[in-house]
């Protein structure tokens, strides 16, 4: 792919909740007359989405998306090229309104409309706009590019709660195919700088709206099956979905590991290894005995000694609920003062403590990250932590898992961690 000049255009001022009783159209009617840099950035990005085959990076409430006109094949192909994404991995369509969904379901524009299946009405009423993707039948004569569905008979669609994302879709006047704006298999981006790190030279425009609030992608549900199923855990919790009429018996239809190579994924994020940093990731399941965790890490460090150890080793530790600082591997060492290091050079500050010690007589630097104890804080910081530790060129990352049933986001957090990990440990 030809190297491109990638620009980051600030739009933080516009990345805010929509004023009460104001529509996106009314908001834009006022904003576009201001001649501000942010309004100019939206107009430039919207024009690129309509006319260019190069996708645009943009913020949502979950993670940064890589947007392209979902109705043009050449545009959607640009996503696969930029991400180096396998072509059998379907894309989620982002819309700004129910009316846009109805146009996708009724491409011929006839008065006898095909409606959104009734099973989804309780979910849409409660969670849209929001971090929920629903699976709909792709109609005959579909407006969507065939690359969006990866030849499946269905397509996934969501309406972001991010007012800015809906504004961009409105100004572009197109439904946007929008996977996460990272290189395929890498941790999802929660800042514009993460997008730039992965896609610099592959895309032209990144709209910088600041850090994302949720930190994991949308939940994907299939109400066309009986019983309905959750195909990917995400920003809407499983228990929240079960509380909706018609969804009390919803089934878990996903695996925390990748599907076998010949299986067709029903939704994004199901088939391939995802969310993986360069470093080897070892995930300890919740409740693992701390002394055995420390012993396992020490044993791995000892067994991986090499001629390069004269230069020292680097490891990352990601803590959540119970692990102490550096899992007590360096209890007698002096830790550096805690500093606010940024993930991938800017934005989304993350507290990382750097500790120098010796383990098995080898100089070892430990980069310790505490994500906090709530599923919400863990979700917000998870991808940034993996990226920050990658930036430190650590050899391995050891992560404290959480229980799948602790909070509405916990299943999504553990799903992402299990897909990122090379090794799962329960001790």
The binding site for L-threonine comprises 62, 94, 158, 218
Feature table: binding site: 62, 85, 89, 94, 154, 158, 180, 188, 218, 232, 275
Distance, CA of 305 to CA of 310 (rounded, Å): 10
Distance, CA of 100 to CA of 115 (rounded, Å): 12
* Contacts (Cβ under 8 Å, ≥6 apart) of 50: 69, 172, 173, 174
Task: Count CB-CB contacts under 10 A for residue 37.
Answer: 12
Sheet holding 229-232, edge to edge: 7-10, 205-208, 56-58, 65-69, 176-177, 92-94, 154-158, 132-137, 219-222, 229-232, 251-252
Distance, CA of 90 to CA of 269 (rounded, Å): 9
Q: Are 65 and 179 in contact (CB under 8 A)?
A: yes
Helices 410-420 and 375-391: crossing angle in degrees, nearest 10, is 20
Q: Which neighbouring-strand residues pair with 222? A: 229
Q: Are strands 56-58 and 132-137 parallel, antiparallel or unpaired?
A: unpaired
- Terminal alpha carbon distance of the chain: 46
Strand ranges inside 200-348, DSSP E: 205-208, 219-222, 229-232, 251-252, 280-284, 313-319, 339-342
Feature table: binding site for ATP: 85, 89, 154, 180, 188, 232, 275
Cis check: omega of the bond before 427, within 30 degrees of 0:
no
Comparing CA positions, the residue from 131, 11, 148, 56 lying closest to residue 93 is 148
């Amino acid at each position: 792919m030809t190297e491109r000049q990638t620009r980051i255009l600030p739009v933080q001022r516009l990345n805010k909740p929509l004023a009460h009783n104001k529509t996106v159209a009314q908001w834009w009617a006022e904003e576009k007359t201001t001649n501000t840099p942010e309004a100019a950035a939206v107009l430039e990005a919207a024009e690129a989405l309509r006319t260019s085959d190069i996708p645009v990076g943009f913020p949502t409430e979950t993670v940064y998306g890589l947007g392209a006109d979902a109705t043009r094949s050449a545009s959607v192909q640009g996503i696969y090229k930029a991400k180096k994404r396998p072509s059998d991995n379907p894309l989620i369509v982002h819309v700004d309104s129910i009316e846009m969904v109805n146009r996708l379901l009724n491409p011929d524009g006839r008065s006898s409309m095909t409606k959104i299946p009734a099973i989804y009405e309780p979910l849409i009423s409660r969670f849209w706009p929001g971090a929920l993707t629903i699976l709909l039948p792709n109609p005959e004569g579909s407006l969507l590019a065939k690359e969006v569905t990866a030849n499946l008979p269905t397509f996934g669609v969501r309406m972001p709660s991010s007012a800015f994302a809906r504004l961009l879709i409105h100004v572009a006047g197109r439904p946007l195919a929008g996977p996460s704006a990272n290189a395929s298999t890498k941790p999802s981006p929660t800042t514009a700088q993460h997008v730039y790190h992965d896609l610099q030279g592959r895309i032209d425009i990144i709209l910088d709206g600041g850090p994302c609030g949720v930190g994991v992608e949308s939940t994907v549900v299939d109400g066309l099956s009986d019983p309905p199923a959750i195909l990917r855990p995400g920003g809407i919790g499983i228990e929240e979905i079960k509380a909706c009429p018609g969804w009390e018996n919803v089934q878990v239809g996903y695996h925390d590991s990748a599907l076998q190579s010949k299986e067709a994924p029903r939704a994004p994020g199901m088939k391939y290894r995802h969310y993986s940093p360069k470093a080897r990731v070892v995930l300890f399941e919740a409740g693992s005995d701390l002394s055995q965790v420390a012993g396992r890490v020490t044993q791995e460090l000892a067994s991986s000694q090499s001629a390069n150890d004269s230069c020292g080793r680097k490891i990352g530790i990601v803590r959540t609920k119970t692990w102490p600082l550096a899992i007590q591997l360096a209890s007698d060492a002096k830790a550096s003062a805690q500093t606010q290091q940024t993930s991938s050079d800017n934005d989304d500050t993350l507290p990382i403590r750097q500790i120098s010690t010796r383990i098995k007589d080898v100089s070892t630097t430990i980069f310790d990250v505490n994500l906090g104890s709530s599923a919400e804080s863990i979700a917000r910081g998870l991808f940034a932590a993996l990226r920050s530790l990658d930036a430190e060129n650590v050899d391995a990352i050891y992560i404290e898992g959480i229980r799948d049933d602790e909070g509405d986001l916990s299943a999504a957090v553990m799903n992402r961690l299990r897909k990122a990990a090379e090794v799962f440990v329960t001790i």
